[in-house]
Amino acid sequence: MAATLILLSIGLPWLGALVVWMVGDRHEKIQHALAVAFSLAAGVAAVILLGSAGKETALTIPVGGVFGDFTFVADGLGVFLAVIATVIGSLAVIFSVDYMHGEHQLGRYYAFVLFFIGAMVGLVLTSNLLLMFVFWEITALCSYALIAFHNDDPKAVAGGVKALIITQFGGVGLLLGAVLLVSTTGSYDINALLASPSSIPAGTLAVLAYGFLVAAAAKSAQFPFQTWLPDAMEAPTPISALIHAATMVNAGVYLLARFFPAFKDVPGWTEAVMLVGLVTALMAAIMAVVSNDLKRVLAYSTVSQLGYMVYAVGTGVVFASQFHLLSHSVFKALLFLGAGAVIHSVGTRDMREMGGLGKKMPFTRVVFIIGALALAGLPILNGFWSKELILEAGLKHSPIWMYILMLVGAGITAFYTFRMVWMVFYGKPKAEGHIHDAGKAMKVALAPLALGALTTWLLAGPFSKILGTETLPYHNIHAESTWEILGEVISLPTLVALGVVALGLLAWWQRDKLGGLGKALGWLGKAAAASFGFEAINRGVVKGTQGASNGLSVTQTGLLNWNVLGIVVALVILFAVLALGA
């Protein structure tokens, strides 16, 4: 049963990708319908899979001795992320029906979206490290292709190439880990590593641990790789929602959470993870304050919230990290799709040219504000509960200065969220032309997400059960009821955190009176606008890679004869080495 469901939730999107592509771009309506049908079917399969979650290997595909068996395990962590990828992914597809209406080359668009969703499901469900690497790279390829979807726009192409090159550092880290693992233990099985991390030498384990940290940081746009995600904003907005909420960036946090039991005893690793999360969360929050591009603000907020999740993994409370991932993927998908509705209607992403849109787009305003309040971490919304869980984990398991800085980050989050909502929906109307509310398919996608942002925190109990020791034997998460978890959240530190959030709100309210403070912090704003110099470094890396590729292209003569000559020369050298060696 579980085996069939795993095959369905990976295979349906991939089959859909093939079918939508083969239908051809002349039949747009059929393409829209097919893409929605296949992604929804995959979502249904993944949700049913929740019921048969277990720690045993559910599906084994033997492929001979070299790569190990391709195994899939439907454990709590994997199934939960598979549900997020397919359900949020299918909402993004539904939203696309309106957003991409009348665009050219829909086949390419939907094929890559569905391929992306399927690969993400495979990535989280497989327990073979090599196969995980393959899926990891497929997601990188799809994100590149989708960010650069408008391939006649040089900015979009540059953003896509940047995403591809930067995330490749992650791919290299993961591949290194896989090769090291197989050379020391002779198997690619992840669960064997998690069961007995002491079976491999401490030095090798440390290389693995830090390699995977690099991989996760590159994929989840953490410090110092954080600059690719904002540049990925050139993508069509549903793609941004897909990358930010459903698929791509979750992979890094997933990787850390998955391997946490194996690496937690590596000296300095948990501290390094916490530090990466902390620096990212703060830096990205400050950058969000000075940005005027609606989608960029959201992108920086994603980077910042991912920093919170990474920090939570570092403190050892994997549950808090994954619970925030759940909340985040719901409210961030809501925010992105809401922003998509706004951008679709106004035709610009610059918040300075918006303002006063609330009256003309009442539905969008309501759902967007729900998402924004969840992001800011106001009570009752799901973001509040999960962020408080992370902060409490930080209070208990990390140095106090880290906790305080994370609190400050929460305050800044509240500040830029209110700034964004104000600039878009309130104030003087600046945009001209025909402004219309979200379309029908957009509303269909937005409404369940808004409902989710209001209610997913009620799932805390079942969520802790599915991540519990029954399906994740090495993670030490205890199943508790919703009320127990919520009871833990409501305590004195929470009031402090709420106070900080209120302070953030107050700071935006009284922004005119704080002019002096703003001027004093002007240098910080300037540094933040320049991404604290990391933009330049990352750009240098991208340029260097492209230059090296250009230089190496000399070896690609395009002439068969020379290429075969190279092969024969290599053959002769190989034989000569063998002859000398023997």
Partner 1 sequence: MYLYILIGAGALGCAIMAIIAKKLLSSAIWLAGTSALVALLIYLLGAPEVAVIELSVGAGLVTVLFVFAINIAGDEPIKLRAIPPRWLSGILILFAIGLLGYFAVVPLMELGAVDLPVSMDADFRSVLWQERNLDVLLQVLIIFTGVLGMMGLLAEGHKKESHPANEEEKPA
Partner 2 sequence: MSMNVPSVFLIVVIGLLGVGLYALLTVRNLIKVVVALQILVKGAMLAFVLVGRLTGQVNLGQSLALTVIVADTIVAVVGLTLAVQVRRKFGSLDIKDLTTLKR
- Residues contributing to the site for partner 1 (CB under 8 A): 63, 559, 561-562, 565, 568-569, 571-572, 575-576, 578-579
Q: Which does 509 bind (CB under 5 to 8 A by kind): partner 1, partner 2, none?
A: none
Kindly state the smallest distance separating residue 561's Cβ from partner 1, in Å. 4
Site string for partner 2, 542-571 (x = CB under 8 A): -----------x--xxxxxx--xx--x---
**In the complex with partner 2, which residue's Cβ is closer, 483 or 562?**
562
The C-alpha atoms of residue 281 and residue 286 are separated, in whole angstroms, by 9
**In the complex with partner 1, which residue's Cβ is closer, 400 or 559?**
559
Kindly state the smallest distance separating residue 18's Cβ from partner 1, in Å. 12
Helix (H) or strand (E) holding 576: helix 560-581
199 torsion bin: left (phi>0), alpha (psi -120 to 50), beta (else): alpha
Q: Which does 556 bind (CB under 5 to 8 A by kind): partner 1, partner 2, none?
A: partner 2
Return the SS3 of 128.
strand
Q: Nearest Cα to 132, choosing from 181, 79, 186, 70?
A: 70
Size, binding site for partner 2 by CB under 8 A: 10
Q: Which does 576 bind (CB under 5 to 8 A by kind): partner 1, partner 2, none?
A: partner 1
For residue 69, give both structure tokens: 């068996």
Kindly state the smallest distance separating residue 151's Cβ from partner 2, in Å. 17
Q: Which does 67 bind (CB under 5 to 8 A by kind): partner 1, partner 2, none?
A: none
Q: What is the DSSP letter of 70?
A: E
Q: Which does 63 bind (CB under 5 to 8 A by kind): partner 1, partner 2, none?
A: partner 1
Helices 202-219 and 129-147, interaxial angle, to 10°? Answer: 20
**In the complex with partner 1, which residue's Cβ is closer, 458 or 565?**
565
**In the complex with partner 2, which residue's Cβ is closer, 516 or 558?**
558
Helices 106-125 and 2-23, interaxial angle, to 10°? Answer: 160
Return the SS3 of 492.
helix
Kindly state the smallest distance separating residue 332's Cβ from partner 1, in Å. 39
**In the complex with partner 1, which residue's Cβ is closer, 62 or 516?**
62
The alpha carbon dihedral of 210, 329, 282, 386 has a sign of negative
The answer to whether 112 and 17 have CB atoms below 8 angstroms apart is yes
**In the complex with partner 2, which residue's Cβ is closer, 568 or 574?**
568
Kindly state the smallest distance separating residue 130's Cβ from partner 2, in Å. 23
Kindly state the smallest distance separating residue 571's Cβ from partner 1, in Å. 5
Q: Which does 458 bind (CB under 5 to 8 A by kind): partner 2, partner 1, none?
A: none
Q: Which does 558 bind (CB under 5 to 8 A by kind): partner 1, partner 2, none?
A: partner 2
The alpha carbon dihedral of 243, 245, 249, 251 has a sign of negative
Q: Which does 1 bind (CB under 5 to 8 A by kind): partner 2, partner 1, none?
A: none
* Footprint (CB under 8 A) of partner 2, residues 317-376: none
**In the complex with partner 1, which residue's Cβ is closer, 548 or 569?**
569
Q: What angle do CA 450, 455, 457 make, to 5 degrees?
A: 125
Q: Which does 572 bind (CB under 5 to 8 A by kind): partner 2, partner 1, none?
A: partner 1
Kindly state the smallest distance separating residue 454's Cβ from partner 1, in Å. 47
What are the DSSP calls for 302-335, one per residue?
HHHHHHHHHHHHHHT-HHHHHHHHHHHHHHHHHH
The C-alpha atoms of residue 16 and residue 18 are separated, in whole angstroms, by 5
The C-alpha atoms of residue 239 and residue 109 are separated, in whole angstroms, by 9
The C-alpha atoms of residue 365 and residue 563 are separated, in whole angstroms, by 60
Q: 393: Cβ–Cβ under 8 A, 6 or more apart, which residues?
A: 312, 315, 316, 317, 320
Interface residue list for partner 2 (CB under 8 A): 553, 556-561, 564-565, 568
